[in-house]
Structures are given as C-alpha cells and as structure tokens.
Structure 1
Amino acid sequence: MKKAINPLVWANVCWSLSLWLLCLTAVWIALAQQSFFYEQWYQLLDIDKTINEYAPLNRFERENFVETNSEEHARLFTAITQAVHQQGNGLSAIEYSASDGKVVTLLTKDEVIHLQDVANLIATATIVMKVVAMIFIFSSLLMRYKEIAITPLKLQWVYAGGLMAVLLVLSLAVGVESLFYWLHTIVFPDNHQWFFYYEDSLMSTLMQAPNIFLPIGVVWIIGVFCLWSIAVVMSRRI
C-alpha cells in the first residue's frame, strides 16, 4: 500500500508554487510599467529597419506610418500596453500622426479584436492570481502555525532548475516558434485572427513580432528568479 503524502509537505509545495506565481505576476506588472523596455529592444532588434521596410507595403492604406519617428513608436507601444492592462479600453482610439499632420487610426478591426483577447486573458489571469494570493496566505499561516520549515533555497533552485531544463528541452524539441503559435491556438478563440503579416499589421511591424517577445520573456524569467530567491531567503529568516 502506498504511503500518502504528508499534508504538511503539500503545504510547503503550495507555498512554493503560489510564491512563484505571485513573483511572475509582480515582475510582469513591473515590466508593464516600464513598457517592457521597448525602447531598448527597439534599438537591439533594429525595429526601425523593420518599419522602414514593411510600413510602405501596408495593405490597409497606412503607408505613411513610415514617416513616424522612434518617439512616436515608443508612445504607441506604451498606449497598447496600457490598454491591454485596462480591459482593452482605448484600443480603437490609438492614433498616430504622420508628417503631414494627418491623424490615422493605428489598429485594424482584427488587431483590436486580438488585443482585446489579450486584455481578456490578462483580466482572467488577474482573477486567478487573487486566488493564488489567498492560497499563499493560507499556506503561510498554516506553516507558521505548524512550525513547518520552508524548503531551503538551494533545494528549491534544484527543483526549479530541473523543471526549467525539462521545459527548455521540450521547447527546443518541438520548436520555440511552433510552441509559441500552438499556445496561441489554445488561449485565443478559434475564429479570431492572431497571426498577422507585417504588410497587414502595423501592430506586428511596430513590435517586430514575434521576435520582441523572446528578450522580454528572458528578462521576465530572470526577474522572477531573482525576486523569488529574495522572497524565499527573507521568509526563512522571519
């Protein structure tokens, strides 16, 4: 007969996992406040060259986007970031100004629908994280009441590192780009467009999607590991 796992062990597991998820959320919020360092990735990825190449080919009569400058590009990215974190409010109203003074709507209908889906996903994640926060508080109180020691950081690093290694191997085996597209089919409605060619989308051109998501993801994960490690060390000292 298999021996049941000690409930106190589950408390430690719930504490560690919920802390990890809360750190994911906290670092995401911090990055969003900084527009995910768009201006840095703009220079690193030469996004201006992508805009100069594809904006004149835009099939929705937005060829004059090529006349906008880097400051305008950063402003537009920030506007999109803010909108998807505010239930999608204002997406349709995002506009850019061409050199001739003409004001043009940035996003097409399909782009607005896609970004609204992103906003809905973020809103759902926010609700889930509130539940996770309650689990974290409950497990913390239980561990304090039962005097359960938090798993040492080094051991947690082994577990987390092992999990990350497995995920990395699987991602490389499947293909990062294929995995990225597959996840889109899972989280977004079937009848909603989520793939956009640069010639059809200033949104994709502005972000050099999906390239920009790689450095953002790397910074996100590094930030999470740092914050999570600090939180574990501080919690063990309390």
Structure 2
Amino acid sequence: MAADGAVRGTGLHLWLLLPAAALGALWLAWRVLAVGDFLYPLWYDVIDVHGHIEHFGPQNRYKDDFETTTRAERARLFAEIVDAIHASGAGLAELRYHDPDGRPIDTLLRTPEIVHLEDVARLVDRLAPAGWLALAWLVIHLGLIRTRGWRVPRLRRLLGASLLAVGVGVALVFAIGPRRVFYQFHVLVFPPENPWFFYYQDSLMSTMMKAPFLFGAIAIAILALALACYAFFLFLAARLATDAAAAAPPRV
C-alpha cells in the first residue's frame, strides 16, 4: 500500500463527493468569515478604506459628515450589514451612523441601497439550503466510504486536479477582467429593475466598502479558506478509504 495512505481506484461516487466537498467548503468558508465580518478591520487598512472615506465622504450628495465617524463606528456598521444579510435583510433601514461622541448623525442607507442589500440577503437565503445540504451529504458520504469500502484516488492526484481547475478558473477571471466578471455576476443574479451600481458620491455603503476592491479581498479570503477546507475533506476521504481497505478481509 502507498506510503501516503492513498487507495487505488476510482468510482462513480466521486461525482457526488467532489461537488459536495467543493460546495460545502465554499459555504463553510463563507460562514466562518461571516462570523469575523469577512475580516473588514484587516482590509480596512490593507486597501486604505480610511483614506477613501476621507476623500469621498464629504462629496456625498445625500448624507453629511460620514467622514467624521471613527474606525470603530465604520466596523460596527459593516458588522450590522453582515448580520442583516444573514437575517433576510432585517434592520437595514434602521442603521444609523454616529459622531465620535456617540450622537446620531443620519441613517446610513438610502432606499436603493437597502433594496440591493435585501437582494443580497435573498440570494444568501436561497444558497444556504444548498450549502448545508452539501455539508450534510459530505458527512454521509465520508461515512459510506468507510463502511462500504469505496475507493478514493491518491490524495495528491485529487488535489492536483482540483488545483488545476481552480487555477484555470482564476486565470479565466483575470483574462476577462475581475471587475467585468464582478459586474456581469450582478447582472446575472440580481433583478434588472433593482440598482446595484452606486457611485461613491451617492452611496455611503459603496464608500465605506470601497467597492469593488473590498469584495475582491473578501473573495480571495473565501477562496483561500475554501481550498483549505476542501483539501481537508479530501484528506479525510482518502484516510477513510485507506482504513476501510486495511480493515477489509483478505481476498482468497
């Protein structure tokens, strides 16, 4: 038997295992990062959100004095938005920003921004069952690998093929243009009658997120964590297949 514990052979079950592992890894990465507000405090410094707000905050045509808010206040607002999109959009209209002394200044979001974030919340609501189902099936599938002795290819082979597919996808995104892909994604998934593009001068939401740069950083974090989760899932599958083969009675 190979030293790395891999089991030779393939099976039709891989057509269920690999998509479930990929979708489950993406959903798990999303949920884990959502708990930490998608690392907004980190990206705040990395992409200089502070300087962006200092420049565009005073130019806003509808809201005043956002540039006077503190870093902690901006992080709080982003966290509230993250919570809202995971709660079907509840509470978006009530979000208010405050000055450094804690006095309320104004509501954060205008109606078009609220509508867009509610669209995002509906998208998350629709994707959630698929994500949880993928994780549930993954647990069942791993159990079947162990109990039924389903074979799994070498771990390095599976990871190599998967990383190649991811590399091709990333290369394609950069060939087309990340911003163009981002915009086309919005065109495809959101209702055409609802606005999703907002100039910085019209939207504190876009300003405090430095869209689309923040979303690019978040996408990288999700992809990196999802790849780690995916590799761990495949490692478990290979290990369980090895254990099942070792426990099987010898063939006569």
What secondary structure is seen at the aligned counterpart in 2 of 1:10?
coil
Which residue matches 2:233?
231
* CA 1:99–1:219: 2 relative to 1, 3 Å: closer
Q: Which has the higher contact order (CA 8 A, sep 6+)?
A: 2
| Residue number among 120, 135, 154 corresponding to 2:122 in the alignment | 120
Which residue matches 1:85?
86
- Unpaired runs of 5+ residues, structure 1, are 1-7
- CA shift, 1:237, in A, is 2.3
17-26 or 150-159: bigger deviation: 150-159
Looking at CA atoms only, which structure, 1 or 2, has the larger radius of gyration?
A: 2
In 2, Cα distance between the equivalents of 1:116 and 1:50?
A: 25
- CA shift, 1:145, in A, is 4.7
- CA shift, 1:141, in A, is 4.8
Task: Report the identity percentage.
Answer: 30
Which residue matches 2:223?
221
- CA shift, 1:150, in A, is 2.2
Which residue matches 1:209?
211
CA contact (8 A) 1:12 1:139 kept: no
CA contact (8 A) 2:65 2:105 kept: no
CA contact (8 A) 1:111 1:201 kept: yes
- Unpaired runs of 5+ residues, structure 2, are 1-9, 241-252
The reply on whether 1:65 has 2:66 as its aligned counterpart is: yes
In 1, Cα distance between the equivalents of 2:135 and 2:104?
A: 47
In 2, Cα distance between the equivalents of 1:182 and 1:139?
A: 35
- CA shift, 1:235, in A, is 3.2
**One-letter amino acid matched to 2:37:** S
Which residue matches 1:5?
none
Equivalence map 1:1-238=2 (5 Å): 9-60=11-62, 62-98=63-99, 101-238=103-240
**One-letter amino acid matched to 1:84:** I
- CA shift, 1:142, in A, is 4.5
In 2, Cα distance between the equivalents of 1:231 and 1:171?
A: 26
Aligned length, in residue pairs: 230
Q: CA RMSD in A?
A: 1.7
Normalised by the length of structure 1, the TM-score is 0.90
- CA shift, 1:138, in A, is 5.0
